[in-house]
Every structure is written in structure tokens, then in C-alpha cells.
């Protein structure tokens, strides 16, 4: 009997972060002192009050059954309260909010509810690698929309308006990998185009609370008319150091939410209810939790950039997210050879820009999710090869 992968899997390249993790593990197995600036996984533990909420809820046998697909009403209500406080936007907890087993899961399932084989989907380039397979699995035809440094890593609205017969566009601000933030003018233009052309907007806002210098990123729903065409995905992972807990939500247009709900009802049985209780506790957290998180990452951002500038590497500071996105230094021919040199010569894991799409070539991404002493060590090591 001959066994092989399906054609849809054969079409996919190796998942970037799995390959990076393999390279890191191989280096560690050789006894090398590796500093991991690759995958963006916050190094601080989840706040104690959230852990305590989970522990107490896990002891309650009432939470051990299948969860409701739509999540606990208390969780949806708390999401609505948090969203209104943060963005001054009202959401209906019954029809405009849907809890997820992490926002990545929801983004993976959503295209199955709205994309038919052959539908055109605009995808910014570079982009978080997980978007591409979700569209491919749904049978969508991906059209890359370039992001350029000269346009502050925002897609051209004129270019978007030129495309014909487009079903959906995927955007992500604050952006991974570029750390760019969308302006109100961009969102207004995008919403107007998409309403006119009947294009669905999938907005991924996983980094909404990781921003610097007091400049809060906007939700697309702060723009009039956005609820007509948009669905937005949020996550507790980055905001409350909960990457492994897998809890987030989708919100927005009630028809788009209903399509996602129908897909998910056929794939999973909801979030473990004790984790939902912990999510409620997280959303009720004092403001100091996220304020301290932003201070921590901004301090690390400045520490890394100033250190590398001291070695002649000119880097613009990110406005949000916990990534430094930089042109590869002089002397390297491409992003992959740069990342390989960092690992081979300095035992530093960084992410090559071309792993995020052709538009990322010539750049490298470094995560600031390690302590300052490791950042300092990384700067010293890189100084020897720059």
C-alpha cells in the first residue's frame, strides 16, 4: 500500500517557524549556547491572578463537559466590555462576538465559510506565514499585494481598487513581520473600497496591545461602515502572556461571524470552560498589566536597536509588536544567508524575511522576547560579524 500526502499539503512549503525550531534544536543538541530571537513567544509567565482563576475553575466539575460552541455568555459579555473600553465600539455579544481556540485557529477556519474554489483573495506580502495555507485549503486563489517601506508597509489603496472580482483581503496591523501600524486614513480608504466592491476584510489584530510611545493602534471597527464588510481577530496570547493557553475571539459583521460559527461547530467543541474563566479574569486585569508589558518591550526594543546601531547597523524602531524588522546588513547577499550566518557564526536564531513571502527578501526579523542580558550578549556576538 502506497501512502502519501494530499495534493493540498504537497502545495505547501515547510512551515517557517517549524523549520526555524528544528535549526535551533539541532544547534542546542550540539551543545551550542543559542540565543533565540526567532519565534515571538513572550518569556514572562502568565499573571498569577489568571493562573489562579484557571486552577479554581479546573477544580469545578461543572467545567469538565463539552463547552458551548459560542462560548460562555459571561466571556462574550466581558469581551464586549473590554472592546468598548479600548476602542469605543459597541459589539453585540450574541451575534458579533465568537470566542476561539486562539486567533490562529479562527483565521484558519474562517476562509472555509466564505471562500469558494477559485475565489480571489488579496494577501499582503510580506505576511505572517499561517495565512497562506488557510486560503489554499479553502481553494482560494492568492494575489500578493506588495508592502513597501516607502509606503510605511501599507498596501496601496489605488492598487487594491484596481483588482476585479476579489472576494476577500487579509490585513494585519500591527503587522507581523514589519511591526507597522495602520493609519485611520488607510482604514477609511480600505473600508470604502471594500464596501463599494463587496470585498470581505479579514483583519488580524493579535498585537493590538503591544504598542510603543503611547500611540494606540486602531481597530478597523473605529471606522464608519466597517461592520458591513469586516471581521477582526483578537488574541489574549500577547496581551496577557498567554500564548500556550489558546484563547482569542473573532468579532464584527454578524453574517461573517455566523459563517465562522457554522464551520467551527463541525470541527471542534469549543474552548475548555476553565480556560474561558481564565480569559474572563485576564480581560478584567488591571491596566498596569499591559502597561508594564509595553514598558518592558519598549525598553528591550531600544536596547537592541541602540546596541546594533553602535555596530553601524541602521534600524528604524518598530511602532508596535515585539519584532525588529531590519534591512540585512551590508555584506550579506540575501535574508537566508544572513540568518544562516547569524546562527552558524553567532549562535543567534533570527527569521529570514523571505520566509514571509517574496516581499520580505532583503530583511530579517528579530524578536525582543528575551531578557536584556541576552539582548546584550546578542549585540556583542553580532558585533563580531557585522
Q: Is residue 2 part of a domain?
A: no
CATH number at residue 232: 3.40.640.10
53 and 25 share one domain: no
Report the pLDDT value the prediction gives residue 305, as an integer from 0 to 100. Answer: 96
Q: Of 41, 304, 319, 302, give the one whose Cα is nearest residue 154.
A: 319
Report the pLDDT value the prediction gives residue 12, as an integer from 0 to 100. Answer: 79
pTM above 0.75, yes or no: yes
Could you list the residue range(s) of the whole structural domain that residue 365 is in?
7-45+288-383
278 and 338 share one domain: no
154 and 17 share one domain: no
Domain termination site, one of 283, 314, 335 = 283
Q: Is residue 213 part of a domain?
A: yes
92 and 12 share one domain: no
Say if CB 381 and CB 370 are below 8 A apart.
Answer: no
Q: Is residue 321 part of a domain?
A: yes
82 and 188 share one domain: yes
Q: Is residue 1 part of a domain?
A: no
The β-bridge relationship of strands 363-367 and 323-327 is: antiparallel
178 and 246 share one domain: yes
328 and 258 share one domain: no
Report the pLDDT value the prediction gives residue 251, as an integer from 0 to 100. Answer: 98
Domain termination site, one of 283, 304, 338 = 283
- Residue 147 burial class via C-beta count within 10 angstroms: exposed 0-12, middle 13-18, buried 19 and up: buried
The number of CA neighbours under 13 Å toward the Cβ of 245 is: 28
24 and 53 share one domain: no
CATH number at residue 313: 3.90.1150.10
Rounded (10°) angle between helices 335-346 and 372-383: 100
Q: Is residue 318 part of a domain?
A: yes
83 and 139 share one domain: yes
222 and 308 share one domain: no
Domain termination site, one of 217, 252, 283 = 283
Report the pLDDT value the prediction gives residue 280, as an integer from 0 to 100. Answer: 98
Give the count of domains, the chain.
2
Q: Which residues of 288-317 are buried (b: 16+ CB within 10 A; e: fewer)?
A: ebbeebbebbbebbeebbebbeeeebebee
210 and 153 share one domain: yes
Q: Is residue 110 part of a domain?
A: yes
Report the pLDDT value the prediction gives residue 115, as an integer from 0 to 100. Answer: 98
> Cβ atoms within 10 A of the Cβ of 189, count?
17
- From the first residue on, what is the mean pLDDT of each consecutive set of 10 residues in the chain (386 residues)? 88 74 81 90 94 98 91 97 98 98 97 98 96 96 97 98 98 98 98 98 98 96 98 97 97 98 95 98 97 97 96 95 96 92 93 94 96 96 92
Q: Of 72, 62, 137, 134, give the one whose Cα is nearest residue 98.
A: 72
Say if CB 36 and CB 370 are below 8 A apart.
Answer: yes
Residue with cell 527578501: 361
125 and 178 share one domain: yes
Q: Is residue 278 part of a domain?
A: yes
Report the pLDDT value the prediction gives residue 311, as an integer from 0 to 100. Answer: 95
Say if CB 166 and CB 199 are below 8 A apart.
Answer: yes
- What is 312-380 written as a DSSP string? T---PPPSBTTEEEEEPPTT-SSHHHHHHHHHHHH-EE-EEGGGG-GGGTTEEEEE--S-HHHHHHHHH
Amino acid at each position: 500500500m502506497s501512502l502519501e500526502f494530499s495534493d493540498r499539503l504537497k502545495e505547501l512549503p515547510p512551515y517557517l517557524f517549524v523549520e526555524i525550531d528544528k535549526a535551533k534544536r539541532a544547534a542546542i543538541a550540539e551543545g551550542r549556547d543559542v540565543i533565540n530571537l526567532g519565534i515571538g513567544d513572550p518569556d514572562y509567565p502568565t499573571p498569577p491572578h489568571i493562573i489562579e482563576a484557571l486552577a479554581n475553575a479546573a477544580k469545578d466539575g461543572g467545567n469538565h463537559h463539552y463547552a458551548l460552541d459560542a462560548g460562555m455568555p459571561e466571556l462574550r459579555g466581558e469581551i464586549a466590555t473590554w472592546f468598548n473600553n479600548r476602542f469605543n465600539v459597541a459589539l453585540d455579544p450574541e451575534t458579533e462576538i465568537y470566542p476561539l481556540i486562539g486567533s490562529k485557529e479562527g483565521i484558519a477556519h474562517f476562509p472555509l465559510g466564505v471562500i469558494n474554489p477559485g475565489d480571489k483573495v488579496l494577501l499582503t506580502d510580506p505576511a505572517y506565514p499561517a495565512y497562506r495555507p488557510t486560503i489554499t485549503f479553502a481553494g482560494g486563489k492568492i494575489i500578493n499585494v506588495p508592502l513597501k517601506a516607502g509606503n510605511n508597509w501599507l498596501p496601496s489603496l489605488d492598487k487594491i481598487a484596481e483588482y476585479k472580482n476579489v472576494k476577500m483581503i487579509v490585513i494585519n496591523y500591527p503587522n507581523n513581520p514589519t511591526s507597522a501600524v495602520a493609519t485611520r486614513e488607510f482604514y477609511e480608504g480600505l473600508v470604502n473600497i471594500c464596501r463599494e466592491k463587496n470585498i470581505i476584510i479579514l483583519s488580524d489584530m493579535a498585537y493590538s496591545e503591544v504598542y510603543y510611545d503611547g500611540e494606540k493602534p486602531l481597530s478597523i471597527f473605529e471606522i464608519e461602515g466597517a461592520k458591513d464588510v469586516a471581521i477582526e481577530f483578537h488574541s489574549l496570547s500577547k496581551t496577557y502572556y498567554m500564548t500556550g493557553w489558546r484563547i482569542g475571539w473573532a468579532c464584527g459583521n454578524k453574517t461573517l461571524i455566523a459563517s465562522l460559527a457554522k464551520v467551527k461547530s463541525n470541527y471542534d467543541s469549543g474552548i475548555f470552560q476553565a480556560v474561558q474563566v481564565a480569559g474572563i479574569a485576564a480581560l478584567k486585569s488591571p491596566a498596569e498589566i499591559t502597561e508594564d508589558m509595553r514598558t518592558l518591550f519598549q525598553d528591550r526594543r531600544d536596547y537592541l536597536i541602540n546596541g546594533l546601531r553602535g555596530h553601524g547597523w541602521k534600524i528604524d524602531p518598530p511602532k508596535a509588536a515585539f519584532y525588529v524588522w531590519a534591512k540585512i546588513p551590508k555584506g550579506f547577499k540575501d535574508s537566508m544567508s544572513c540568518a544562516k550566518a547569524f546562527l552558524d557564526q553567532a549562535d543567534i536564531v533570527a527569521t529570514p524575511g523571505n520566509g514571509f513571502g517574496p516581499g520580505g527578501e532583503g530583511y530579517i526579523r528579530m524578536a525582543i522576547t528575551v531578557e536584556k542580558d541576552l539582548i546584550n550578549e546578542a549585540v556583542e556576538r553580532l558585533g563580531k560579524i557585522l
